């Protein structure tokens, strides 16, 4: 049976009596470590669409059905909001006055929005020059205190871990266990929508928190009898930042997908355990393959995600011959394409006619009419 998301226990009755989405903590409260005294800080995150992508399904072939979980439609434009509503609510409950994170951009935007909404200071440490413009703009406008470090994400994370252990600032990177608790709700939504778990879940992997969170969600729903299987977890990393594929820390990670430009994932062991218990696999894809999938999603499916997110689709296309015939596949699109306008403009293959005279004749000529 196919259930629609609106049938999930999740959809609460708003006080007006209308069916308004209450945010994921209210929607999945029985599955989350919150109590009546937890102050819920929410921007009504979650309940993102699962969208069929027929062009990609056709490219995979053999009757495989493909959906994308478009988590770029969360309030700050990425899946991080799922983890942040939990982490910030729990930080508030514990009386925190300030939070801190290292970030390739999305965590910083999300931490800033939720922390400020909760009346806390947000300190975010980013790799100088390697954060997409939209993400930096968000962190600044939401009111984070942004520190650009002369180093990469892995170095920023080391500093942040020391800061959080020595000073009164709460860590909101995914090493904070509440982050994964919130993020696991994406797996719940996938099962609520499909009526079962997919055969494969394709997901970009950077610091490896999200793959671990999805697995937690699928396992929890499986134990509750909400699905009768768990998916193979297929993790994809950019070739220049693929420690989980090679088994070795990358000291100078490089990729156009700056969100996953990470060489020493914090949840390394967790992710390996997920891969093993789910009989999944880690595979790397090149920047060229990422950009190809990024353009394909936008130009053929009407879905604009950021480059790191397109890694899940690039990965699926790369290993398509390994997908069982007739399988159901969900690719996670972690962030919104608007986050990174520079990459979009630089790597669009489409025509952009500039300097046209403002006359009908000139326009008709360019249109070839």
List of residues contacting ligand F0G (CB under 6 A): 78, 80, 103-107, 174, 204-210, 259-260, 306, 308-309, 334-335
d(CA 16, CA 14): 5
Return the number of the residue (26 or 254) whose C-beta is nearest ligand F0G: 254
Return the number of the residue (64 or 160) whose C-beta is nearest ligand F0G: 160
CB of 283 to ligand F0G, least distance (A): 14
Return the number of the residue (22 or 240) whose C-beta is nearest ligand F0G: 240
Centroid of chain to Cα 53: 18
Which residues, at least 6 apart from 216, have a Cβ–Cβ distance to it below 8 Å? 180, 181, 184, 187
Structural Rg of the chain based on CA atoms: 21
Return the number of the residue (154 or 196) whose C-beta is nearest ligand F0G: 154
Q: Distances in Å between the alpha carbon of 205 and those of 165, 210, 215, 266, 290? A: 26, 7, 13, 11, 13
CB of 110 to ligand F0G, least distance (A): 8
Residue with tokens 């860590």: 171
Q: Beta strands 281-285 and 232-238: pairing type?
A: parallel
d(CA 215, CA 107): 20
Return the number of the residue (32 or 131) whose C-beta is nearest ligand F0G: 131
Residue with tokens 């490089």: 254
Among the listed residues 286, 281, 270, 200, the one whose alpha carbon sits nearest the alpha carbon of residue 235: 281
CB of 215 to ligand F0G, least distance (A): 12
Return the number of the residue (198 or 204) whose C-beta is nearest ligand F0G: 204
CB of 309 to ligand F0G, least distance (A): 5
CB of 269 to ligand F0G, least distance (A): 14
Return the number of the residue (93 or 239) whose C-beta is nearest ligand F0G: 239
Which residues, at least 6 apart from 180, have a Cβ–Cβ distance to it below 8 Å? 83, 174, 209, 212, 213, 216
d(CA 139, CA 146): 7
Which residues, at least 6 apart from 267, have a Cβ–Cβ distance to it below 8 Å? 174, 175, 207, 208, 209, 211, 212
CB of 49 to ligand F0G, least distance (A): 17
CB of 62 to ligand F0G, least distance (A): 28
Return the number of the residue (53 or 180) whose C-beta is nearest ligand F0G: 180
Residue with tokens 């994308």: 68
CB of 17 to ligand F0G, least distance (A): 37
Contact 98, 19 (CB under 8 A): no
The total of other beta-carbon atoms located within 10 Å of residue 16's CB is: 7
């Amino acid at each position: 049976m196919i259930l629609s998301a609106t049938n999930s226990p999740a959809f609460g009755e708003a006080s007006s009596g209308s069916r308004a989405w209450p945010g994921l903590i209210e929607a999945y409260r029985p599955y989350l470590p919150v109590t009546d005294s937890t102050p819920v800080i929410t921007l009504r995150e979650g309940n993102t669409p699962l969208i069929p992508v027929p062009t990609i399904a056709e490219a995979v072939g053999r009757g495989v059905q493909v959906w994308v979980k478009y988590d770029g439609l969360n309030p700050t434009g990425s899946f991080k909001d799922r983890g942040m509503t939990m982490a910030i609510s729990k930080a508030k409950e514990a009386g925190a006055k300030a939070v801190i994170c290292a970030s390739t951009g999305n965590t910083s935007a999300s931490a800033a929005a939720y922390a400020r909404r909760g009346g806390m200071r947000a300190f975010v440490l980013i790799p100088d020059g390697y954060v997409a413009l939209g993400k930096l703009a968000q962190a600044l406008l939401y009111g984070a205190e942004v520190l650009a470090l002369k180093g990469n994400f892995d170095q920023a994370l080391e500093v942040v871990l020391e800061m959080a252990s020595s000073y009164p600032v709460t860590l909101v990177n995914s090493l904070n266990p509440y982050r994964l608790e919130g993020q696991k709700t994406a797996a719940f939504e996938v099962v609520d929508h499909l009526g079962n778990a997919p055969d494969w879940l394709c997901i970009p992997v950077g610091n490896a928190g999200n793959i671990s969170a999805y697995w937690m969600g699928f396992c929890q729903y499986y134990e509750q009898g909400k699905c009768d299987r768990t998916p193979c977890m297929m993790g994809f990393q950019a070739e220049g930042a693929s420690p989980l594929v090679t088994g070795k820390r990358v000291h100078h990670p490089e990729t156009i997908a700056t969100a996953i430009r990470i060489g020493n994932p914090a949840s390394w062991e967790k992710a390996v355990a997920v891969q093993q218990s789910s009989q999944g696999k880690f595979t790397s894809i090149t920047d060229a393959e990422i950009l190809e999938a990024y353009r394909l999603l936008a130009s053929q499916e009407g879905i604009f995600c950021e480059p790191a997110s397109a890694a899940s689709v690039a990965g699926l296309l790369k290993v398509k011959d390994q997908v069982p015939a007739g399988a159901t596949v969900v690719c996670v699109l972690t962030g919104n394409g608007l986050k990174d306008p520079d990459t979009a403009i630089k790597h669009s293959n489409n025509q952009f006619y500039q300097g046209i005279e403002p006359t009908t004749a000139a326009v008709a000529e360019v249109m070839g009419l």
